[in-house]
Amino acid sequence: MLAGLMGFFAAGCSDATNTAPESSKDAFIDSVLSTLTLEDKAGEMTQLTLDMVCVKEGMNVDEPHRLDPEKLKHVLVDLRVGSILNCAGHAYTPEKWHELIGGIQDKATEKPSGIPVLYGIDAIHGPTYTTGGVLAPQQLGLAATWDTALVRKFAENAAQEVLASGIPWNFSPVLDVARDARWPRFWETFGESPRLVTDMGVAMVKGYQEGPSPIAACLKHYMGYSRPLSGKDRTPAWIPERQLREIFLPPFAAAVEAGAATVMVNSGETNGIPVHADRHILTDILRDELGFEGLVVTDWEDIRYLFKRHKVAADYKDAIEMAIHAGIDMSMVPTDTLFPVLLAELVREGRIAESRLDESVRRILSVKYDRGLFDTGGMPPSIEDYPDKASLEGTAARAALESMTLLKNEGQHAVYPDQPILPIGGTGRILVTGPTANSLNALNGGWTGTWQGRNPKYNTPGRPTAVESMREVFGADRIDLAELDMEFGQADIDAVTRSLHPRTTQCAVVFLGEMPYTEFKGNVETIELFQNQQDLVKAIHATDVPVIGVYVGGRPRTHSAIEPLLDAFLMAYLPGDYGARAIADVLSGDFNPSGRLPFTWPRHPSSHLTHDCKHTELNEGGFNPQYTFGSGLSYSPVQTTNLEILTGESANMGDTVTVEVTLQNTGDRSTTETVIVYSQDRVASITPSVDELAAYKQVVVPAGATSKVTLDVHTHNLGFIGRNNMYIVEPGYFGLRIQDQFAEFELIAP
């Protein structure tokens, strides 16, 4: 059957991506769907992990990984499974990916339907499971660039490598809005601002889906996943619908509008209802309100969890019925073969209408059609066409540089006493220490080579650690390494301080932070910086050697006790394979830092406030962060003055308000300045936030130059979700702020 369908399709398809008119697509899918049996449909809605078709002993896949012909036949031919995901534990070379996916797709031709398999992967900061791939910063670091064009280019590049491995579906981007630094997936997000997450998310979706090698994006994790009450992964969230719509829905709504092909569902529960069983969220909002027509896939094992963990279903069969009626299209099963069997039984028993399966299968076939699988049979492209790595590295390296966020630079320079301690300069010796100083795993974080990103065996060959790049930039003869692991103790600290002397050591660069983790493996009881790292800073400070802190990690750890002891502090995030050189170039002054925090760094472990907190949270010193959202210094400061509203003291609903501000570079270097406009609704029917991100723009201000910059604030964006859970913009007075400059205008009702 497939050969005939491919002939029908080929006239409207180019290479691996469909460009045929919608009517041709509909006709093709109608034709395929009309031939499918109930078992075919149930199989299409099933996604299994690669482990399920590999040779293995017990739970362990044999090395080297290889397909098991009998398991492959059972999964694809007998059960007609429509999708495979993951990597069975670790990264592969492009050639190995071709071998595995080629074998899967070859066997798929023996399915009764002949429909190719839709393969998916978590390539969240580049091709994370392809050996030697170009790995950029994780999303939190990308957000710190405030550069949506750069993020889109990164996504285009990542798509090229992912597709070249034979994978047309990427479980990215994460559009969860990170409101609590305790949450272990904080680093996978674009930060705490719905506006910034929205802009970055849309840029990434367009990069994946509209670039030269388009792949299907997948929006994660729809929605409310990032605000569990306990701060721990997959624990209950309590989010009233008004806040759900105001904070967590906008990034998904915008990405759906931008054409995102697929959505992955929040694994947790919101207000006592597991999202995988919440028809209101999955159908009423996603389908009926947002108009999403694409594929909705579960997260890992989450239908089974409806009865195993959430206890809202009596058994697996009840859980399947519940999830399908809520709006699920595909189950990421991923490690049993019962799902398609039970789903077919539910239809035969009349508990699920076959027409409901038709809806889901149509969406699945649509994604396969759009990705050109019916034309290529899902087979990987020629290995000779794998993209040249050198052509992709520049974007990742640039993103790492632009993400670097200098948060403090107040210490006295050892060589030039009238200047801040950074950039380092001079010729003296530099002590490098701390547990993240000599680890490429620390620079990349989770989802790198392996799920947790901790196995150095799967690091990119040849990429340097931070200390290795410092040796290259400053000269090996200037760098003294006092290597420490995460469990170092007082004896190790004593050894470090014994090697120091103010006369011979110009400064100490202390690499702080965390080693890789993700999901529940990163759950913590406190976000305070590890005590041994604080003790290390105290001990070095006591020697009178200046201390430069570099934080490598995915969430802000509180360190108020030692922050005054740091002469400078650089936030490096999880900058990827090119992050080591970016850190060294900022410390040396070869690059003038331009990153800005995409979150609020708390001063105390119990503080979880954001930049858009409420006025009552300012009482009694309630909002007192270590560093505010948008913070970031450069080596050539830019002063902001003369904020003026060019469009006048009033505006009508629907107008665009244009503001102008003067920027003066007071230093001797060109600076990339991110100009951020915050708005304040003076009086509203729902308590307004102290600040809301209203607009931002990056401009380059040459050394010593003065320039005027204009930004537009759209009045439509000055609203909020009202008491009836509908978006509303109310007339009245609004403030605008850029740095310490304020202006005000009146918004007039029509």
Structure tokens at 13: 């398809």
Alpha helix (H) ranges present in 377-439?
Answer: 390-403
The pair of three-digit structure tokens given for residue 706, joined into one six-digit string: 């003065």
Give whole-number Cα distances, 726 to 92, 242, 243, 262, 729, in Å: 48, 8, 11, 26, 10
Question: What's 638-665 look like in SS3?
Answer: EEEEEEEECCCCEEECCCEEEEEEEEEE
Does 336 qualify as catalytic in the annotation? no
Among candidate residues 237, 137, 120, 262, the one with its CA nearest the CA of residue 177: 237
Q: In this structure, what are the phi and psi dihedrals at residue 129, rounded to the nearest 5 degrees?
A: -115, 25
Q: Which two tokens stand for residue 229?
A: 């009450």
> Smallest Cα–Cα separation from 633: which of 671, 588, 687, 664?
671
CB 252 within 8 A of CB 222: yes
Measured distance CA(119)–CA(246) in Å, rounded: 34
Beta 169-170 vs 13-14: how paired, if at all? Answer: unpaired
Beta-bridge partner residues of 721: 727
Residue closest to 577 by CA, chosen among 449, 475, 434, 452: 449
User: What is the distance between the alpha carbons of residues 30 and 605, in angstroms, rounded to a whole number?
Assistant: 56
- Sequence letter at residue 585: D
SS3 450: strand
Phi, psi of 343 (to 5 degrees): -60, -45
Answer yes or no: are the C-beta atoms of 31 and 5 closer than 8 Å: yes
Round to whole Å and give the CA distance between 114 and 373. Answer: 11
With the CA atoms of 24, 30, 36 and 40 taken in that order, what torsion angle do they form, in degrees rounded to the nearest 10? 70
Q: Residue 92 pairs with which residues in a beta bridge? A: 130
Task: Kindly name the residue from 299, 375, 681, 691 that is annotated as catalytic.
Answer: 299
Selection from 662, 663, 697 nearest residue 677 by Cα: 697
First to last CA, the chain: 61
CA 653-292-722 angle, 5° bins? 35
Of 136, 138, 161, the C-alpha closest to 211 is: 161
Give the DSSP H or E segment for 162.
helix 148-164
Going by C-beta distance under 8 Å and a sequence separation of 6 or more, which residues neighbour residue 629? 191, 192, 193, 597, 598, 599, 600, 610, 611
H or E stretch at 498: helix 490-498
Asked if 206 and 172 count as a contact pair (C-beta separation under 8 A), the reply is no
- Strand 46-49 relative to strand 83-85, pairing: parallel
Q: 529 with 436: CB under 8 angstroms?
A: no
For the chain, the maximum distance between any two Cα atoms, rounded to a whole number of angstroms, is 83
**Residues comprising the chain, all counted:** 750
* Residue 127 main-chain phi, psi, to 5 deg: -75, 80
Partnered with residue 330 across adjacent β-strands are 297
Gyration radius from the chain CA atoms: 27
3-state secondary structure of 142: helix
The span from the CA of 413 to the CA of 410, in Å, is 9
For residues 80 and 112, give the distance between their C-alpha atoms in angstroms, rounded to a whole number. Answer: 8
Residue 617 tokens read as 């949270």
Helix, strand or coil, per DSSP, at residue 353: coil
Which residues have a catalytic role annotated? 299
